Structure 1
Amino acid sequence: MQAWTRPEIPRLPGYSKPPLLYDTASQRMIEAGPSDETARLYVCGITPYDATHMGHASTYVAFDTLQRVWRDAGYAVRYTQNITDVDDPLFERANATGVDWRELGESQVELFRNDMVNLQVIPPDDFIGVTEVVDDIARAVQNLVDRGLAYEVAVDDDSEIAGTGTRRVDIYFDNTRTEQETEWRLGQYSNYDETTMLRLSAERGGDPERPGKRDPLDPLLWKAQREGEPSWPSTLGAGRPGWHIECSVIALESLGRNFDVQGGGTDLIFPHHEFSAGHATALSGAPLAKIFSHSGMVAYHGEKMSKSLGNLVLVSRLIEGGVDPRAIRLVILSQHYRSDWEWTDRLLADSFCRLGDWLAAFTETADAGPRSGATPASAISVVNEMREALNHDLDTPAAIAVVDGAVRSGVDDPGLLAAAVNALLGVNLER
């Protein structure tokens, strides 16, 4: 699947250090430095409907910032993102709107691409729709079945596909058997107790009360063909992939084992990242990733922004209404990526003012002199202060405060500051 146009990223004098990131699994800060010259990043992509809301944008801007720090440290980056272009919520929305699910998905992915371009987000090197790799996923599930790490559950009391005499079965991951035979342990990435995991499984696409499962938390790997739903032929029977196995297979095939950072929102900690990690360990014999990094949730009008509530702030609608996408990005960057926060008109107004101040201070026509009468600050020193802030768990609010300080003091090289704001924060002051 085609991604989007890559923004130009200026090269700055000097280098960042490998950043410290908070790892959800170990609950501590870990240096996110690659073992070789290439940093490997996987961020879970959208299910293509209601794109791109501010929760999506906040996550992708957060991990875009990580890419920018890595690149400023001199590393190459290999970045993979999936698109869950076959899933129950997509089918439900397509049925509700009378649109073919493929057309809905394609239109929403194109909208997402445009939003990412406008927000200056660096595109993934591998942008992969689940529908492109169904055969690979089916082979991975067959591997787990053959090794006794997955099992069958009959559909509708052993019902058959009409006219074929073929018994329909769903395939589930065996958590207990996998724990016995690999280094993976249920709960090791989320640190949640069983009660919490059962609740979240029920809320987030799991089926803990499904009869026939060996354990209520065992996740679906392969869903047998259902009437009115798309399916693909395989040795498992006609069907389609479960949610978590898709990311495991895409990540392993594009990034390899134990890559540097698995990213996504906190709503993916369980069950998605827990089981993606379990599947990957079962398939490869190694951990999925070294660091599991999660961005906070975004609220609107006092409630978490969600498709089910319909309280979505969409990037495309803001831009259509005349909002400068650089101001949208500045709103996101003004919040620490791990914090839960609420989108407000006041935040947007503040970002408009900040953008205006930065444009006045750091564009080619800017006066390098200080506003306060003090001696202009050294631009390279300001750049290094920005780097220090971002090196500590991508502290974009602190980096913004450094730039705001430079606006007040003035700098000896406004052009260098403009380049740094572009390279490190993704806000292009020259366009």
Structure 2
Amino acid sequence: MALKIYNTQTRRLEPFIPLQPGKATMYCCGVTVYDYCHLGHARSYIVWDMVRRYLQWRGYEVTYVQNFTDIDDKILHRAQQEGVSMADISERFIKAYFADIRPLNVMDADEYPRVTDNISGIQQLIQILLDKNYAYVVDGDVYFNVQAFAEYGKLSGRTQSMMKAGASGRVALRDPETIKKKHPSDFALWKSAKLGEPAWDSPWGKGRPGWHIECSAMVRALLGETIDIHGGGSDLVFPHHENEIAQSEAANGKPLAKYWLHNGMVTVNGEKMSKSLGNFTTIRELLNRPLDPMVIRLFVLQAHYRKPLDFTEEAINSAVNSWKTLKQGLLFGKKLGWKKDQKLDFTVIEKFKTAMDDDFNSPGGLAVLFELAKNLRREGNLFTHEGKTDTGVEELQQQWQTLVHLAGVLGLEAKTEANITDAKGFDEAEIIRLIQERNEARKVKDYAKSDRIREQLQQMGISLIDRPNGETSIVR
């Protein structure tokens, strides 16, 4: 089965065929660095990390770029409030981004371009659009002429008649003088300098970039004129990604991306997450509960990436319990001193691949993982209580190694060992290990060691009864 992904632009599942065989280029819109990252950011970057990891597992060489928007009205406003520079605010929250996102096991991007480091490339792209008559200058501002680009609206499905004044997103907040525009939907590529704001020299006068042109320029500079995958939240489909397409394709005469992927939004108890509603939750707040970072990652991956994700206390508690099950399975062999030698169950791997090939269906992939984890838990309990298992040791080792391998594809790792205890507080895995060690000692007739282990277990409240048929029963 070939990997199929849902393309927002075509509104259908399509087989993934990259521009270059064996390689994949990805660009995902990064954060505007004026505040701490919230759960919506966590979802987005966990999702794209999962996509990247899966493509790599499928054998693709992935180049992943994620930008930082380090100049923006919100950054400037916060800098003015605190009496510091825009650069101070940006640097603080870029560091905060890494401090918050890395515990979630999100791999670093190959490149993290910043807008302020790409002013020259932005200006070059704007000039190309002016030369091709896709843009015009008014009083030091440069606007993209939406009516000049016949395919405008092909991503969002919006027609010109549906566009309203102010549809250019953030730009409208800074540019109420819509009378300057030829059409209400035209959006700023370059904004003339305002008193007290950072500005750069340009052929059109001092100013700074509009929001949308930034990503177009950075994609072009780092990945080329056409990339394989462009990702972002569904709230970016319009206007941001629609405008990116218009700018890039008007300038380059080529598609900006073969596949457009968008993750669903996070809601809180069914309502949109926002500061005004008081239901805004940062990654930092969740981790400080304290909450195992893998619980957050699992919570995100338990929903298909395109679906809405509702954050409730019940949902988080459920993820906590689910992670306990999965973690117990991931640590099963490690606590028994097993070494990973990559003896994998390829039947199980095919089930996982079939699920994930269907538009990165992480809930389906997780179902395969939980089947393995629950079986390992059942076999461990059986061994502890009855001194035997229904499954041979080699097969259990294979199941454990397959679980660890596939969990890694989803970025789920049990990095810190927590005791898995029974009702009396004993480490269940330690009990299993001791019983296994005693059984091995009995096989080689090392009865002194066997007796020492029996006594050790008795001190833990575990009594062993050796049966005539060679089996050992356990009494607690």
For the pair 1:170 / 2:141, whether they are aligned, the reply is yes
List structure 1 segments (4+ residues) > 6 angstroms apart after TM superposition.
none
- Whole-Å separation in 2 of the counterparts to 1:45 and 1:307: 20
Report the equivalent of 2:41. Answer: 56
CA shift digits 1:222-248 (9 cap, x unpaired): 001101111011222111101111100
Percent of aligned positions that are identical: 34
SS at match of 1:80: strand
SS at match of 2:92: helix
Superposed, 1:347-362 pairs within 5 Å as: 347-362=315-330
Cα separation, partners in 2 of 1:425 and 1:199, compared to 1, 3 Å: farther
SS at match of 1:29: strand
For the pair 1:231 / 2:199, whether they are aligned, the reply is yes
- Whole-Å separation in 1 of the counterparts to 2:375 and 2:198: 61
Cα separation, partners in 2 of 1:379 and 1:349, compared to 1, 3 Å: farther
SS at match of 1:201: coil
Q: Which amino acid aligns with 1:21?
A: I
**Which runs of no fewer than 5 residues in structure 1 stay unpaired?**
1-16, 155-168, 180-184, 369-377
CA shift digits 1:124-148 (9 cap, x unpaired): 1111010011121112112222232
- Whole-Å separation in 2 of the counterparts to 1:283 and 1:306: 36
SS at match of 2:414: coil
Q: Confirm or deny: 8 A CA contact 1:142 1:236 kept in the other structure.
A: no
Cα deviation, residue 309, structure 1? 4.6
Q: Confirm or deny: 8 A CA contact 2:201 2:207 kept in the other structure.
A: yes
CA shift digits 1:77-98 (9 cap, x unpaired): 0111111100112212333344
SS at match of 1:127: coil
Report the equivalent of 1:277. Answer: 245
| Structure whose alpha-carbon radius of gyration is higher | 2
- Whole-Å separation in 1 of the counterparts to 2:170 and 2:160: 15
For the pair 1:33 / 2:17, whether they are aligned, the reply is yes
Report the equivalent of 1:371. Answer: none
Q: Give the RMSD, CA atoms, in angstroms.
A: 2.2
Superposed, 1:2-401 pairs within 5 Å as: 19-36=3-20, 37-154=22-139, 169-179=140-150, 185-194=151-160, 196-198=162-164, 201=167, 204-206=170-172, 210-307=178-275, 309=277, 311-363=279-331, 364-365=333-334, 379-401=345-367
Q: Confirm or deny: 8 A CA contact 2:169 2:239 kept in the other structure.
A: no
Cα deviation, residue 114, structure 1? 1.8
Q: Confirm or deny: 8 A CA contact 1:33 1:39 kept in the other structure.
A: no
- Whole-Å separation in 2 of the counterparts to 1:205 and 1:309: 24
**Which runs of no fewer than 5 residues in structure 2 stay unpaired?**
338-343, 377-394, 417-476
Q: Confirm or deny: 8 A CA contact 1:48 1:90 kept in the other structure.
A: yes
Cα separation, partners in 2 of 1:192 and 1:367, compared to 1, 3 Å: farther
CA shift digits 1:160-189 (9 cap, x unpaired): xxxxxxxxx21001122233xxxxx11111
- Whole-Å separation in 1 of the counterparts to 2:165 and 2:11: 22
Q: Confirm or deny: 8 A CA contact 1:69 1:391 kept in the other structure.
A: no
- Whole-Å separation in 1 of the counterparts to 2:53 and 2:409: 6
Q: Which has the higher contact order (CA 8 A, sep 6+)?
A: 1
Report the equivalent of 2:425. Answer: none
Q: Which amino acid aligns with 1:245?
A: I
Cα deviation, residue 35, structure 1? 2.9
Number of equivalenced pairs: 387
- Whole-Å separation in 1 of the counterparts to 2:329 and 2:32: 40
* TM-score after normalising by structure 2: 0.77
Report the equivalent of 1:373. Answer: none
CA shift digits 1:269-302 (9 cap, x unpaired): 0110011011111221101000111001101244
Which deviates the most, 358-367 or 119-128? 358-367
Cα deviation, residue 308, structure 1? 5.4
Cα deviation, residue 255, structure 1? 0.9
Cα deviation, residue 50, structure 1? 2.6
* TM-score after normalising by structure 1: 0.84
Report the equivalent of 1:7. Answer: none
SS at match of 1:102: helix
